[in-house]
């Protein structure tokens, strides 16, 4: 009788473990990454959040939204993923096809191919992900498989280009969930990820990698990106023609808008609630800095559509 009881408990625990292992990007899951900028010491943060479900080509997908993404890499404002048999797939609308994001069944020397759309040069790119070694890591009492990989270009003439990565079960690549950079020779001086800061979902719990003091820290000011403590409301973002800036005070403040290289493209003084015209700006990512009483009060990433 006791043997049957122990066997039943073991099977239940095994099934629960297996169910957890199959989970990826449950609704409410959120990743935070450090965001760095070319030619600058400025620091912000990126996030990806699982916000719901949808059906694409018969597959039940999770809907992932981000706050801007990596402009120099694979870049969508909304992505669609599903997880099946320990493999995560992402949807590429330009070819109406799913590609392997990561394969947790992989062993040393195995590989998979990624075809993806890279926005800055509006073309399809192809890389091979090669597993160099396999290890395990325990996070929140979960024993998770880790793949140490190399991303290699398969573009003709650029086969020598490559970069490393670490893919952790349930969390994805430690650098960025979509760690897919164009390796066709493009030089892009945009934003880039400094690595995973935090991850959280209801089942897995909260995890901090320890690379930053906060999940959503702005490196210039040390304040949290939290509208409840912000003195300014800035909208819309992304924007097409105009950025509106509403202040909770009537004090004078200065704004400057710069590109990712640090070049200031617009600088002006404002009072109360006002705005700036960005109609003539090129599509891309810009930094809006607000100075109040000679002190930097806010830095926001602005996306121009």
Calpha distance 73→71 (Å, rounded) = 5
Write the CA distances from 284 to 13, 117, 190, integer angstroms: 49, 17, 9
Of 22-31, 47-56, 255-264, minimum mean pLDDT range = 255-264
Between 275 and 251, where is the model more confident?
275
110-114: which pairs have CB atoms within 8 A and are 24 or more residues apart? 113/154, 114/180
User: 262: pLDDT confidence band, cut at 50, 70 and 90?
Assistant: low
The reported pLDDT for the residue numbered 223 is 36
Calpha distance 243→252 (Å, rounded) = 18
134, 164 Cβ separation under 8 angstroms: no
The reported pLDDT for the residue numbered 300 is 74
The reported pLDDT for the residue numbered 9 is 42
What is the mean pLDDT of the segment spanning 123-139?
94
H helices of the chain, where?
Answer: 2-22
What is the mean pLDDT of the segment spanning 207-221?
71
Domain edges within the chain:
18-208, 232-304
User: 52: pLDDT confidence band, cut at 50, 70 and 90?
Assistant: very high
Of 167-171, 217-221, 226-230, minimum mean pLDDT range = 226-230
Count the helices and strands in the chain (H runs, E runs).
Answer: 1, 20
The reported pLDDT for the residue numbered 186 is 55
Chain mean pLDDT for the chain: 82
Between 17 and 163, where is the model more confident?
163
What is the mean pLDDT of the segment spanning 47-63?
96
For the cut 50, the answer to whether the pLDDT of residue 14 exceeds it is: no
Q: For residue 44, which of 293, 295, 289 has the smallest C-alpha distance?
A: 289
For the cut 80, the answer to whether the pLDDT of residue 239 exceeds it is: yes
Digit-coded pLDDT (tens) for 95-116: 999 999 999 999 999 999 999 9
The reported pLDDT for the residue numbered 97 is 96
Of 29-33, 74-78, 80-84, minimum mean pLDDT range = 74-78
Q: Per CATH, which fold does 232-304 belong to?
A: Immunoglobulin-like (2.60.40)
Calpha distance 112→169 (Å, rounded) = 16
Helix, strand, coil percentages (3-state) for the chain, rounded to 5, are 10, 55, 40
Verdict on whether the full-model pTM lies above 0.85? no
User: 1: pLDDT confidence band, cut at 50, 70 and 90?
Assistant: low
The reported pLDDT for the residue numbered 3 is 54
Digit-coded pLDDT (tens) for 155-206: 877 788 899 999 999 999 999 999 998 776 555 667 889 999 999 998 898 8
For the cut 80, the answer to whether the pLDDT of residue 270 exceeds it is: yes
Residues shown for the chain: 305
Percent of the chain having pLDDT more than 90? 43
């Amino acid at each position: 009788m006791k043997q049957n009881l122990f066997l039943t408990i073991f099977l239940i625990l095994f099934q629960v473990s297996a169910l957890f292992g199959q989970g990826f990007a449950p609704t409410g899951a959120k990743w935070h990454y450090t965001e760095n900028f070319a030619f600058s010491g400025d620091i912000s943060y990126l996030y990806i959040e699982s916000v719901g479900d949808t059906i694409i080509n018969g597959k039940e997908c999770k809907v992932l939204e981000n706050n801007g993404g990596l402009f120099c890499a694979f870049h969508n404002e909304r992505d669609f993923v599903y997880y099946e048999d320990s493999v995560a797939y992402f949807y590429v609308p330009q070819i109406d096809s799913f590609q392997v994001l990561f394969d947790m069944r992989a062993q040393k020397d195995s590989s998979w191919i990624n075809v993806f759309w890279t926005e800055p040069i509006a073309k399809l790119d192809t890389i091979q992900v090669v597993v160099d070694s396999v290890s395990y890591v325990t996070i929140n009492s979960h024993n998770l498989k880790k793949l140490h990989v190399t991303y290699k270009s398969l573009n003709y003439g650029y086969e020598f280009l490559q970069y490393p990565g670490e893919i952790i079960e349930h969390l994805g690549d430690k650098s960025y969930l979509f760690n897919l950079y164009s390796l066709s020779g493009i030089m892009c001086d945009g934003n880039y990820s400094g690595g995973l800061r935090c991850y959280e979902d209801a089942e897995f719990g909260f995890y901090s990698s320890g690379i930053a003091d906060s999940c959503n820290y702005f490196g210039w000011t040390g304040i949290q990106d939290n509208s409840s403590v912000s003195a300014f409301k800035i909208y819309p973002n992304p924007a097409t023609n105009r950025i509106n800036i509403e202040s909770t005070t009537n004090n004078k403040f200065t704004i400057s808008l710069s590109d990712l290289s640090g070049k200031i493209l617009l600088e002006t003084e404002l009072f109360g609630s006002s705005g700036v015209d960005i109609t003539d700006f090129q599509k891309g990512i810009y930094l809006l800095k607000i100075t109040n009483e000679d002190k930097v009060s806010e830095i926001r990433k602005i996306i121009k559509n």
